[in-house]
Amino acid sequence: MQNAKSTFLTLVALLGLAWPALATDGYFSIAYATRHKGMAGAGLGFESTTLIGGNPATRSFLGARYNFNLGLFSPARQYSVTGNPSGQPNSFGLAPGTFESGSTVFILPSFGANWPIGEKAGLGIAVYGNGGMNSDYDTRTFGDASAKASDGFALFGKVTNLTGVNLAQLFTEASFAYQVAEGHSLGVSAVFAYQNFEAKGLASLAPASGAATKLSNNEKDNSTGFGFKVGYLGRFSDLISVGATYQSKTAMGEFEEYAGLFAEGGDFDIPSWFGVGIALSPSENVTFLLDYKRINYSGVKSIHNAMVPQNLFPAFLKPGGVPTNPNDYLPNPAWTPLGSENAAGFGWEDMNTYKVGVEFSGVENWVFRGGYSYGKQPVPESEVLFNILAPGVVEHHIALGFSRKLGGESMLDFSLNLVPANTVSGKNPLDPGQTIELKMGQLDFQVGITF
């Protein structure tokens, strides 16, 4: 067991070397542990799935357990522009065509551990990654001539990115749970988050920014912050259990190098979320799961604020004026520059997701899982321009999974998530004669070991 603990802690340390790029429930992963992914993220009321990133109240039931997961995540992202730029003053037209984002395969690790404390309590840790605001287009999407080609990380093939963003987040949770009554547990987690961000190819938006040197091409910046999570799990009988979880907004430090891009001077907090789940076990071999989850993107201005086109420019050209003559421009009293408190963001709406899952253990040494999740994607049609950078528009998730017993308490876990491509189409708000379509689909395969 001592060797197992040493191996586990070594793997936890290695997580810092890998950055995931998830984008399922908006930019939150559908789940982190392999077993949880095998049921499309359903399971807030079912303790065996929530060791990593789930309900902290389950830890008083789990006993001693270690879990390591490694996955391959493949998002396919692209945007299409139809219609030629109008060339009108104060317009911002894009080159027509279809453009795909590179970096299509990512390695995703996650880790978790739990230790019982007496018969009624449990203590645990979890380390996992999040992301999704990721894109790298081999074109100057926004006409930034200063954007230089650079090779991005790619597992297979070469990536040369001229335009794009990359947001990566690393979470560490320390959790404690206690059974306040027989079969009823309360849990709490302290959440520490580290994130880094980089943007390229956006310098042409400088006239709309209040801090043009803090807008684009400033390499990676980072921030840290803290939040908390609380949870409840109640086993009402062998037939039914119920769970509920709330995670606070994680207050993060500002991205100082991108204070001219994000609202509130580079602020980019991590949204709060909450969920409830029910587990029904009509027999000892079958469990059905039903979950609801809500992510509160509206609580973070950089993510939620909508674009108001007439507020982006500091001045407007007089009718009949000459674009090259500064005296022919009128000040815009409604100018709200990028980076200001109420500046334009990605316009994401709050997201409600519904998940169902099933687990069957009626075959010796095997456990089989399946699930389905649906959540209306958070990007309105009016916000397609900025969301070229973060096309998190998928909605349906189909999950399959299984585990094979290795001996004792050890099991080898597998999961596969199929995410059909989804599209969102709308007018270019800064050149309405053009239409922009965003498209994204995903494939996720993960393997884990629990012991």
pLDDT tens-digit readout, 226-239: 999 999 999 999 99
Confidence of residue 7 (pLDDT cuts 50, 70, 90): very low
Best CA proximity match to 205, nearest among 161, 145, 257, 254: 145
CATH superfamily to which 2-450 belongs: Outer membrane protein transport protein (OMPP1/FadL/TodX) (2.40.160.60)
Question: Residue 3 pLDDT more than 60?
Answer: no
Question: Residue 185 pLDDT more than 90?
Answer: yes
Mean pLDDT of the chain: 90
End-to-end CA distance of the chain: 10
Overall average pLDDT of the 76-95 stretch: 92
Cα atoms in the Cβ-side hemisphere of radius 13 Å centred on 161: 27
pLDDT score recorded for residue 150? 64
pLDDT score recorded for residue 151? 56
Contact call for residues 65 and 94 (beta carbons, < 8 A): no
Overall average pLDDT of the 349-358 stretch: 98
Q: Which residues contact 223 (CB under 8 A, 6 or more apart)?
A: 194, 195, 196, 252, 253, 254, 255, 268
Question: Residue 308 pLDDT more than 90?
Answer: yes
Domain ranges of the chain: 2-450
DSSP-derived secondary structure for 181-230: ETTEEEEEEEEEEEEEEEEES-GGGGGGBSSGGGSS----EEEEEEEEEE
> Of 50-54, 112-116, 246-250, where does mean pLDDT reach its minimum?
50-54
Overall average pLDDT of the 186-193 stretch: 98
CA distance 336 to 384: 19
Which pLDDT tens digit goes with each residue over 374-410?
999 999 999 999 999 989 999 999 999 999 999 888 9
Classify residue 350 by its DSSP letter. P
Q: Which residues contact 287 (CB under 8 A, 6 or more apart)?
A: 46, 279, 280, 281, 358, 359
Structural element, H or E, at residue 9: helix 2-14
Which pLDDT tens digit goes with each residue over 319-349?
888 888 888 889 999 999 999 999 999 999 9
Question: Residue 152 pLDDT more than 80?
Answer: no
Share of the chain above pLDDT 70, in %: 92
Please provide residue 17's backbone torsions phi and psi, each rounded to the nearest 5 degrees: -90, -10
Overall average pLDDT of the 210-238 stretch: 96
Confidence of residue 25 (pLDDT cuts 50, 70, 90): confident
Rg (the chain; Cα; Å): 23
Question: Residue 10 pLDDT more than 70?
Answer: no
Helix H, strand E, coil C: the string for 114-151 is EEEECCCEEEEEEEEEEEEEECCECCCCCCCCCCCCCE
Overall average pLDDT of the 426-437 stretch: 96
Which pLDDT tens digit goes with each residue over 247-301?
999 999 999 999 999 999 999 999 999 999 999 999 999 999 999 999 999 999 9
Question: Residue 18 pLDDT more than 50?
Answer: no
Question: Residue 443 pLDDT more than 90?
Answer: yes
pLDDT score recorded for residue 24? 73
Residue with the two structure tokens 């910046």: 221
Tell me whether strands 435-450 and 410-427 are parallel, antiparallel or unpaired: antiparallel
pLDDT score recorded for residue 304? 97
Contact call for residues 339 and 261 (beta carbons, < 8 A): yes
Angle at 168 between CA 436 and CA 102, to 5 degrees: 45
Which pLDDT tens digit goes with each residue over 359-378?
999 999 999 999 999 999 99
Cα distances from 251 to residues 97, 242, 262, 346, in angstroms, run 39, 29, 15, 19
pLDDT score recorded for residue 320? 82
Cα atoms in the Cβ-side hemisphere of radius 13 Å centred on 193: 28
Phi-psi region of 14 (alpha: psi -120 to 50; beta: other; left: phi over 0): alpha
Which pLDDT tens digit goes with each residue over 129-148?
876 567 889 999 999 988 87
CA distance 234 to 241: 5
Helix, strand, coil % over all residues of the chain, rounded to 5: 15, 50, 35
Best CA proximity match to 177, nearest among 259, 116, 240: 116
- Reading the block at residue 93, the tokens are 């037209």
- Reading the block at residue 261, the tokens are 């891009």
Overall average pLDDT of the 214-233 stretch: 96
